[in-house]
Amino acid sequence: MRRQLQTMRKSLFDQGYLDEQFVQLEELQDDANPNFVEEVVTLYYRDSGRIILNIEQALERKPFDFNKLDAYMHQFKGSSSSIGAKKVKAESTLFREYCRSRNGEGCMRTFQQLKKEYATLRRKLEAYFQLARQAGPVETACRPK
Partner 1 sequence: MNSSSGKTYMSTSNSSAGWKAGDAAADQFPVGLRVLVVDDDPTCLMILEKMLRTCLYEVTKCNRAETALSMLRENKSGFDVVISDVHMPDMDGFKLLEHIGLEMDLPVIMMSADDGKHVVMKGVTHGACDYLIKPVRIEALKNIWQHVVRKRKNEWKDFEQSGSVEEGDRQLKQSEEADYSSSANEGNWKSSKRRKDDEDETDDRDDTSSLKKPRVVWSVELHQQFVAAVNQLGIDKAVPKKILELMNVPGLTRENVASHLQKYRLYLRRLSGVSQHPSNLNNSFMSPQEATFGPLSSLNGLDLQTLAATGQLPAQSLVTLQAAGLGRPTGKSGIPMPLVDQRNIFSFENPKLRFGDGQQHVNNNKQMNLLHGIPTTMEPKQLAGLHHGAQSMGNMNMQVASHGSQSSQNNPLLMQMAQPQVRGQMLNDTSLGHPPRLLSPMGQPILSNGIAANVSTRNGIQENIRAPSYNPVSQTSSMLNFPMNHAAELPGNSFPLGSTPGISSLTPKVAFQEDVNSDIKGSVGFLPSYDIFNDLNQHKPQNWELQNVGMTLDASQHSNSLQGNLNHAQSVLVQQGFPSGQVNGQNRSATVVSKAMFSSGDSTGHVNVQNGNQHLNSLLVDSTVRIKSETPTILYPDDFGQEDLMSALLKQQDAIAPAEHEFDFDGYSLDNIPV
CB of 47 to partner 1, least distance (A): 5
Nearest approach, Cβ of residue 94 and partner 1 (Å) = 15
- Quick count: other Cβ atoms within 10 Å of Cβ 83? 24
Instruction: State in angstroms the smallest separation of the CB of 77 from partner 1.
Output: 5
Residue with Cβ nearer partner 1 (4 or 50): 50
Q: Which C-beta is closer to partner 1: that of 6 or that of 26?
A: 26
Q: 36 or 129: whose CB is closer to partner 1?
A: 36
Residue 76: partners with Cβ closer than 8 Å, 6 or more residues away: 48, 51, 52, 55, 92
Shortest distance, position 20 Cβ to partner 1, whole Å? 8
CB burial string 11-44: b at 16+ within 10 A, e below: ebeeeebbbebbeebbeebeeeeeebbbebbeeb
Q: How many helices (H) and strands (E) does the chain have?
A: 7, 0
Interface residues with partner 1 (CB under 8 A) are 21, 24-25, 27-28, 32-33, 36, 39-40, 43-44, 47-48, 71, 74-75, 77-79, 81-84
